[in-house]
Structure 1
């Protein structure tokens, strides 16, 4: 996610330079043909372009609003995951009680195992939702370090991790193990009927969070919106130089580039935010959120060695 108020122009140029070169060459060609060779028929009415610009602005506004809604929903889902993760840690530590003193140590081991497995679930869900493609070629190593299932290994037993890697849906497998451990605690008397049901309700919320995230991941914004917006932006950009050449002359070149850059940027904003789980620099910061959950739960266990947050790189956090 981009957190800096000022965008890095290197990123902007990276995604727009090819189109801007096309618009520059086109504007220059229109100027040369019209001014130097007196091709007067190259001019088109300004009102036609103004009408097209208005329609395109409305269309891009609708697309960007829809894309932002998807991004914000993803952030709300993972915000709820943070809240329920804290509740899960508190419930595991406070609702599970030993039946007698001889079971106290065994209960503590069970509590740590269940909380650690939930940390593994959060990291596994993060990796499961993201594709393994860096947002920047120069940051390939960083993305690989923070988008791999090996991050889950420290929170599972060796046998659980082996079976985890074999599953088609690894996060769901961890939730299944959590349910089995809750049943074990109920059978041993650590959980009463009510407490068992309460913890199962919290566990079900994690299923909901995963399902809602998968819905966004697997159901993209209708592709005709993305495809049509690119076509319309280039059609509009191709016509813009012909609307101002008659009155402005060479000033038509920078003016056309400015207008085309604005519409191109609006199109790119929607394009880059519509899929929030693709491991791009505009996406929901799943790595930071995962580390927040891990830190909170380890603090609940009284552990002193806590994970470090990923460093902000060029105004971006993962």
Structure 2
């Protein structure tokens, strides 16, 4: 995730990290070359192309801008909702840890062991959720927070985060049977688990529900058709300035299209995706510190304005 301040006027022209230029430069280059060819033909044979009115291109450009704006708003809304969901997870994890440490009896070995087990399972859930959303292997991050006797059944689980929530629920039931806390606090802690279940379901909804393909296809086709037709309408009036103008317009439209495509699923590892690794590490540090651990992992900080994903 890019967290740098706005670059100055010089750097803004050459910044590539977080830019969509690496993804769209073939299309922009193709439109620029096509515009150059058409401008050359128009210069050598002025009557080869008819003089077209720019009015159709203006109307189509306005319509395309509205389409791209709507799609970008929809994509950004998904990105921002995902960030809010992970912010809620930070809140729920800290709240559950506070309740576990404050209200589960720590005067007995059983109580202290239950506290540690529940907090470790909460950390494991955070890492498991991140890996599930990114379709990566979770075991290196999750195994160390789950007791070895559960490793075999954990690997058979179809939904690892949900499996860990069930283990947390069983720990609450165990605490109630052992009378380690009151029924009222059991209910309050169960509400935290319910909220974490909502976080899981909301992340899966965003991850598994892309924008409608027909709408994406319409925007793609319209963008390409507009940029390919534009040089024919501008060559007669702009002459050799046509490649520059068409290149800038192609960069704008293809860039908006590529950016909205990138942030539609905000859980990836691209520069503009959410820094889930940094958020997970923050939760891990906070919860281990609450347990009284001194050997804490290092905090992930932004380097050169860029967060490790």
Alignment TM-score, normalising by the size of structure 2: 0.92
Alignment of 1:206-225 (within 5 A): 206-225=196-215
Q: CA deviation at 1:268?
A: 1.4
Instruction: Tell me if the contact between 2:2 and 2:272 (Cα under 8 Å) persists in the aligned partners.
Output: yes
Superposition pairs of residues 68-107 of structure 1, within 5 angstroms: 68-97=76-105, 101=107, 104-107=108-111
2:59 matched residue in structure 1: 51
2-structure distance, mates of 1:156, 1:107: 17
- Name the SS for the 2:20 alignment partner: helix
- Identify if the C-alpha distance between structure 1 residues 42 and 15 changes in structure 2 by more than 3 Å, giving closer, same or farther: farther
Q: Name the stretch that deviates more: 11-20 or 294-303.
A: 11-20
Aligned residues of 2:285 and 2:299 also touching (Cα < 8 A): no
Tell which deviates more after alignment, 159-168 or 209-218: 159-168
Are 2:105 and 2:112, in contact at CA under 8 Å, matched by a contact in 1? no
1:160 match: secondary structure: helix
Structure 1 runs not aligned, ≥5 long: 133-146
**Partners of 2:21 and 2:255 within 8 A in 1:** no
Gaps of 5+ in 2: none
Who is 1:40 aligned against? 48
Deviations 1:242-267 (CA, angstroms, capped at 9, x unpaired): 22211221111111111111111111
Secondary structure, aligned partner of 2:151: helix
Distance 1:70 1:255, change over 3 A: same
Matches within 5 A, 1:226-245: 226-245=216-235
Of the candidates 285, 289, 292, which is equivalent to residue 302 of structure 1?
292
* Farther-moved stretch of structure 1 (54-63 vs 149-158): 149-158
CA contact (8 A) 1:93 1:111 kept: yes
Partner of 1:41, secondary structure, is coil
Q: Say if 1:34 and 1:42, in contact at 8 Å, map to a contact too.
A: no
Q: Distance in 2 between matches of 1:125 and 1:215?
A: 13
**TM-score, length of structure 1 as denominator length:** 0.89
Q: CA deviation at 1:42?
A: 4.8
**RMSD between aligned alpha carbons?**
1.7
